[in-house]
């Protein structure tokens, strides 16, 4: 392999990137736009759930219960309804996701120390929000129930016994349970996978469509030299994207980087080498820019977004899909970034995932070199 010819091909591709604002925009602007857009819009936090209240009791006890919901960060009381029709309309019109119904005998049952029930009606069209909101509502009602029981015991002059079982939760790595702290590192992996493959998926196909491939074939440049020469400029642009993503994550979204920044860039280099080579393989096989971009999107975005563990837990997927996720390289990169960012662990823990990324990168580079042939057919 002649390094001088590799450098010449890399110089040619670099000039093309600099002279083509579309390629440069795709290489830098689009990843940052996607990171900011998804980083702000994509959240799993459930706060300020809108709710309406149908307080049929109208007593101080019922108002105290309503105040617990209103004072919680998880619910926002949008108003009160006076009938079933108004309640249904509020949920149908998306004015409320939760409706709290307090029966007329609520205060009387509490006064007689009988079982008092309240009803929470939840819009189940958004199952994730509905499940979390029900959990929040149950916790608030349970807390109110404990306070009512303690107050009743005090009125009777009974000394309340200490609880025999007490849960003291402690959350490691993400103590505030901020979803953005887990989403932004995983989102970086997904965006790098998609953009890297789409960038190089157009390179060889563009040469074929513009008729310049014949000129390259007539030169002494060998196949591996051409492949490496085309990869190097985009690899540099990809690493620049990683640097910008790390800075945006830290200074815009406030995501802490507890681990080694060198490990972040090292694993990103392995991942980029494989993703760029995958795009190059697609470009070599299809020989059409339109077809290459479509294949690259299907082969990268869908697996990286759906099957990498970025949005959906792999353990909850059907068994065949769980096995298939082992073939998705973004799975390992998402895991690596989250572990480095949130846990601060090193290669002693992440050696297997780093090794698999290394295998992916080397395999894709070798496959691109093998698939490229200096011939017109």
Output the CA torsion sign for 195, 200, 206, 208. Answer: negative
pLDDT per residue over 222-271, tens digit each? 777 777 888 888 888 888 888 888 888 888 888 888 889 999 999 999 99
∠ CA 83-89-95, nearest 5°, is 115
What pLDDT is attached to residue 213? 64
Q: Among 335, 338, 341, 333, which Cα is nearest to 358's?
A: 333
- Whole-angstrom Cα distance, residue 78 to residue 90? 10
What pLDDT is attached to residue 166? 67
Mean pLDDT computed over 351-369:
90
As given in the structure block, the two tokens for residue 15 are 């000039």
∠ CA 264-323-342, nearest 5°, is 25
Structure letter (DSSP) for residue 219: S
- Whole-angstrom Cα distance, residue 242 to residue 198? 16
What pLDDT is attached to residue 314? 87
Query: Is 55 in a helix, a strand, or coil?
Result: strand
197 neighbors 299 (Cβ within 8 angstroms)? yes
∠ CA 195-272-22, nearest 5°, is 30
User: In 57-126, which ranges are continuous DSSP H helix?
Assistant: 60-70, 84-92, 106-111
Q: Give the count of beta carbons closer than 10 Å to the beta carbon of residue 324.
A: 15
Q: Would the pLDDT of 375 be above 70?
A: no
In degrees and rounded to multiples of 5, residue 119 shows phi and psi of -120, 135
pLDDT per residue over 31-48, tens digit each? 788 788 877 777 767 778
What pLDDT is attached to residue 333? 92
pLDDT per residue over 11-28, tens digit each? 877 777 777 777 677 677
Q: Would the pLDDT of 212 be above 90?
A: no
Structure letter (DSSP) for residue 114: P
- Whole-angstrom Cα distance, residue 179 to residue 35? 15
- Whole-angstrom Cα distance, residue 153 to residue 277? 71
Query: How confident is the prediction for the chain on average, in pLDDT?
Result: 82
pLDDT per residue over 92-110, tens digit each? 888 889 999 999 988 888 8
- Whole-angstrom Cα distance, residue 182 to residue 112? 48
Q: Among 92, 157, 148, which Cα is nearest to 117's?
A: 148
**81: exposed, middle or buried (Cβ count in 10 Å: 0-12, 13-18, 19+):** buried
What domains are there in the chain, each with its CATH number? Answer: 3-43+178-371 (no CATH), 49-155 (3.40.1710.10)
pLDDT per residue over 163-189, tens digit each? 566 667 787 887 777 778 888 888 888
What band does 155 get if pLDDT is binned at 50, 70 and 90? low
pTM listed for this prediction? 0.77
What pLDDT is attached to residue 374? 57
Output the CA torsion sign for 307, 313, 319, 323. Answer: positive
Q: Which H or E run contains 52? A: strand 49-55
- Whole-angstrom Cα distance, residue 361 to residue 278? 9
In degrees and rounded to multiples of 5, residue 57 shows phi and psi of -80, -45
In degrees and rounded to multiples of 5, residue 304 shows phi and psi of -65, -35
9 neighbors 154 (Cβ within 8 angstroms)? no
Listed range (61-70, 137-146, 164-173) with the worst mean pLDDT: 164-173
Mean pLDDT computed over 49-70:
90
Residue with the two structure tokens 């992996």:
189
What pLDDT is attached to residue 264? 92
pLDDT per residue over 305-350, tens digit each? 888 888 788 888 888 889 999 998 989 999 999 999 988 888 888 9
- Whole-angstrom Cα distance, residue 96 to residue 221? 66
Strand 98-102 versus strand 119-122 pairing type: antiparallel
| Burial track 25-39 (b if 16+ CB lie within 10 A, e otherwise) | ebbbebbeebbeeeb
- Whole-angstrom Cα distance, residue 342 to residue 256? 7
């Amino acid at each position: 392999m002649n390094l001088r010819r590799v450098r010449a091909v890399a110089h040619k591709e670099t000039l093309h990137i600099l002279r083509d604002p579309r390629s440069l925009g795709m290489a830098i602007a689009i990843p940052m736009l996607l990171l900011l857009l998804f980083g702000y819009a994509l959240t799993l936090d459930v706060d300020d759930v809108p709710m309406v209240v149908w307080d049929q009791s109208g007593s101080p006890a019922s108002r105290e219960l309503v105040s617990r919901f209103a004072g919680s960060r998880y619910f926002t009381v949008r108003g009160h309804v006076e009938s079933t029709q108004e309640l249904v309309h509020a949920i149908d019109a998306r004015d409320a996701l939760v409706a709290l119904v307090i029966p007329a005998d609520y205060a009387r049952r509490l006064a007689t120390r009988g079982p008092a029930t309240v009803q929470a009606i939840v819009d189940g069209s958004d199952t994730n929000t509905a499940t979390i909101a029900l959990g929040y509502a149950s916790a608030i009602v349970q807390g109110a129930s404990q306070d009512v029981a303690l107050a009743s015991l005090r009125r009777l002059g009974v000394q309340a016994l200490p609880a025999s079982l007490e849960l003291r939760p402690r959350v490691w790595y993400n103590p505030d349970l901020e979803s953005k702290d887990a989403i932004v590192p995983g989102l970086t992996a997904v965006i790098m996978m998609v953009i890297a493959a789409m960038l190089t998926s157009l390179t060889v196909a563009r040469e074929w469509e513009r008729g310049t491939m014949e000129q390259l074939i007539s030169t002494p440049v060998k196949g591996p030299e051409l492949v490496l020469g085309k990869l190097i400029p985009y690899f540099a642009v990809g690493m620049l994207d990683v640097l910008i993503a790390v800075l945006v994550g830290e200074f815009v979204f406030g995501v802490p980087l507890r681990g080694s920044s060198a490990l972040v860039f090292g694993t990103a280099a392995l991942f980029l080498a494989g993703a760029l080579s995958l795009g190059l393989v697609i470009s070599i096989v299809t020989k059409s820019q339109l077809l290459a971009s479509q294949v690259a999107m299907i082969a990268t975005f869908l697996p990286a977004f759906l099957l990498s563990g970025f949005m959906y837990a792999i353990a909850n997927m059907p068994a065949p899909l769980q096995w298939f996720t082992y073939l998705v390289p973004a799975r390992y990169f998402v895991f690596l970034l989250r572990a480095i960012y949130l846990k601060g662990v090193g290669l002693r823990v992440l050696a297997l995932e780093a090794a698999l990324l290394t295998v992916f990168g080397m395999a894709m580079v070798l496959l691109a070199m093998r698939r490229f042939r200096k011939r017109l057919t």
